[in-house]
Each structure stands twice: as structure tokens, then as C-alpha cells.
């Protein structure tokens, strides 16, 4: 079993899931993108995560994407696969993704937003017991945990080896890290724009959607973050990251739609987003084209 604390330092590539115009899977496009991204020094690639639109897919589609990614990466780096929905579906995905060659799982919160803590513990325990892979919890949206709850979860589910923050609350995340200690690998997961804060409180890696368009930029952000180069990070944020995230903030779901449009502008297969996400407007596409011209020196 891979040890995330040892294996995952720097930046995770976070491929989108390309779709054709009829919204069917573009597996050839996924294979091409994963192969291209595997040529860069990411610590791993995350397949069918949030940016990969896992919640718009069937379990069988998600499992097939993992098979394609494992084939494309050719052992050059680990594959982390996203699972979720409900307990039965997540366990099915976990078992089949392990058979397909995934090295670890990124566990999304269950669909039911009012689950009590005991039920959440049961959810994670079932997934952990269904396979032999290390798990990472993606603490996003309503699934926010206190330090005491994190410790109880880790006691109950020892296969959780990594914690991916999706809350963006640096104060609370730092408190959790300080109280929980080195029981798991700590990863920043809400966006490239928060990388300075994540590395500032001691995260060992972050997940990057910009990896889909500018792997060199993602790796530079991680290198400067791990080195404590505050001034260098600020320059990258100002020139590249904040302008892109300003566009992404225009509408809910644009964190995927805007990245897919940027990929298409730069010649990478991506296609449209699936509902309930929406694609960007024609005017926004023109704005994005101008920004991608600024990215020319990092793509």
C-alpha cells in the first residue's frame, strides 16, 4: 500500500473528464490528456474528482475512466480515484477501481447533507473495509469537521491516510493540523489561488486544476510554496492565478467550465460540461482567450 505521507509531496494533477458534444465520455481525449500530464513531475493524478465531474457520471463511467487513466499513465505516477454518492455505490466503485489499478481513493462526502457523525463514520468505515487502498477524505461543502471529529474518524477508519481540504478556512485547517498532528498527509484542495496559504501552514501538497492547462505553472507554485518563497508565489498569483480565478468566480460551476474552455483554447480535448453545470458564455470565452495569451510563457 502506498504511503501518502511519503509519496505525495508537491502538486496533484487533476484532469477534467472530457465529454463529446453529445455529453458521452471522450475516453480517447482522457487518455491523451493523462498521458501528456504524466510527462510532468506531479506526485499523482486524481481521476474523476470534483474537477473530473464525478457527480455527473455513473459508477461504471467513473470506473472506466480509471481504467483508461491507469493505462495511459504507464506506471509513471500514482492514480488517485474519486468515489462517492452513497455507501453501496462508493464501495462498488472502490472495489472496481482497485481492480482497475488505482493506488488510492479520494472519498467525497455522501450525497445526504444531514448525515449525523455516527453515520459519516459508518460511511467511511464501509468504504475502507471494501478495499485495500489508502483513503483521502475530501472535506468539502457541508462536510466540515472539528479536530476532535477528525481524530475520531481516524481512530475508526485507519485506512484514511490523507486529508484534502475543500473548505478554504485556513484558520480552522491549521487548528486541525496542529491538534491531529502527523496521523495523515495534509493536502490543500480548494484551488490554486489558496496554495500560498496551504503551504504557509505546512501542507505537503495541493491539488491543481491549472495543471490541465499549465503544468509548469502548477509545479512552480508548489516548488515556491514548499520553499517558503512568499514573494515568488505572490508574483505567480498576481500574473496568472488571480485573473483566472476571477473569471471562474463569475458563476457556480465555472471552476470546471472555465478550465474546460481554457483547455479547448489551448488545443487539449475537454468538451462541454454536463448538467447541472453550465458552459461559459461567448463573451466570457473571448475574455478567456485573451488571458490564455498571457499564459503563453507557462504552457
Residue 55: CA count within 13 A, CB half-sphere: 14
CB 239 within 8 A of CB 245: no
C-alpha cell at position 225: 510554496
- The rounded percent of the chain whose pLDDT value lies above 70 is 100
pLDDT single digits (tens) 110-142: 999 999 999 999 999 999 999 999 999 999 999
C-alpha count within 13 angstroms, C-beta hemisphere, residue 69: 34
- Provide mean pLDDT across the span 83-100: 98
Q: At what angle do helices 147-156 and 170-180 cross, to 10 degrees?
A: 50
Spatial distance between the Cα atoms of 140 and 280, rounded to a whole number of angstroms:
24
Structure confidence by residue, pLDDT tens digits, 186-224? 999 999 999 999 999 999 999 999 999 999 999 999 999
**pLDDT tier for residue 51 given thresholds of 50, 70 and 90:** very high
Place 15 in a pLDDT band, splitting at 50, 70 and 90: very high
| Dihedral, 258, 263, 264, 266 alpha carbons, nearest 10 | 130
Give percent of the chain above pLDDT 90. 99
The predicted-structure confidence for 172-188, as pLDDT tens digits, reads as follows 999 999 999 999 999 99
Q: Model confidence over 223-267: pLDDT tens digits? A: 999 999 999 999 999 999 999 999 999 999 999 999 999 999 999
> Quick check: helix, strand or coil at residue 286?
helix
165 grid coordinates: 481540504
Is the model's pLDDT at 1 over the cut of 90?
Answer: no
The pLDDT of residue 98 is 98
The partner residues of 110 in beta bridges, in order of sequence, read 85
Average pLDDT of the chain to the nearest whole number: 97
Contact (Cβ atoms closer than 8 angstroms) between residue 258 and residue 277: no
Task: Report the distance separating Cα 161 and Cα 133, nearest Å.
Answer: 10
Domains of the chain, earliest start first = 4-228 (3.20.20.70)
- Residues 251 and 223: their CA atoms lie apart, in Å, by 30
Residue 259: what pLDDT? 98
Determine contact, residues 48/54, Cβ cutoff 8 Å: yes
Task: State the average pLDDT over residues 148-152.
Answer: 98
Residue 258 to residue 253: CA distance in whole angstroms: 9
Amino acid at each position: 500500500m502506498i504511503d501518502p505521507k511519503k509519496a505525495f509531496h508537491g502538486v496533484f494533477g487533476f484532469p477534467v473528464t472530457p465529454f463529446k458534444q453529445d455529453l458521452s465520455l471522450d475516453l480517447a481525449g482522457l487518455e491523451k490528456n493523462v498521458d501528456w500530464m504524466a510527462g510532468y513531475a506531479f506526485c499523482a493524478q486524481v481521476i474523476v474528482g470534483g474537477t473530473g465531474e464525478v457527480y455527473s457520471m455513473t459508477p461504471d463511467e467513473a470506473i472506466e475512466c480509471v481504467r483508461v487513466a491507469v493505462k495511459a499513465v504507464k506506471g509513471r505516477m500514482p492514480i488517485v480515484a474519486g468515489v462517492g454518492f452513497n455507501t453501496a455505490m462508493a464501495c462498488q466503485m472502490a472495489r472496481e477501481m482497485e481492480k482497475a489499478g488505482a493506488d488510492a481513493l479520494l472519498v467525497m462526502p455522501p450525497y445526504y447533507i444531514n448525515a449525523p457523525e455516527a453515520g459519516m463514520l459508518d460511511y467511511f468505515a464501509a468504504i475502507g473495509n471494501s478495499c485495500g487502498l489508502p483513503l483521502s477524505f475530501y472535506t468539502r461543502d457541508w462536510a466540515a469537521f472539528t479536530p476532535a471529529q477528525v481524530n475520531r474518524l481516524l481512530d475508526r477508519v485507519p485506512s484514511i491516510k490523507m486529508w484534502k481540504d475543500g473548505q478554504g478556512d485556513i484558520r480552522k485547517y491549521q487548528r486541525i493540523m496542529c491538534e491531529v498532528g502527523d496521523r495523515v498527509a495534509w493536502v490543500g484542495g480548494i484551488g490554486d489561488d489558496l496554495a500560498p496559504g496551504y503551504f504557509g501552514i505546512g501542507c505537503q501538497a495541493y491539488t491543481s486544476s491549472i495543471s490541465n492547462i499549465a503544468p509548469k505553472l502548477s509545479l512552480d507554485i508548489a516548488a515556491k510554496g514548499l520553499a517558503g518563497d512568499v514573494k515568488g508565489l505572490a508574483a505567480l498569483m498576481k500574473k496568472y492565478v488571480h485573473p483566472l480565478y476571477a473569471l471562474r468566480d463569475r458563476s457556480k460551476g465555472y471552476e470546471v467550465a472555465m478550465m474546460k474552455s481554457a483547455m479547448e483554447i489551448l488545443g487539449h480535448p475537454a468538451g462541454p460540461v454536463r448538467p447541472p453545470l453550465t458552459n461559459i458564455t461567448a463573451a466570457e470565452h473571448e475574455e478567456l482567450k485573451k488571458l490564455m495569451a498571457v499564459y503563453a510563457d507557462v504552457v
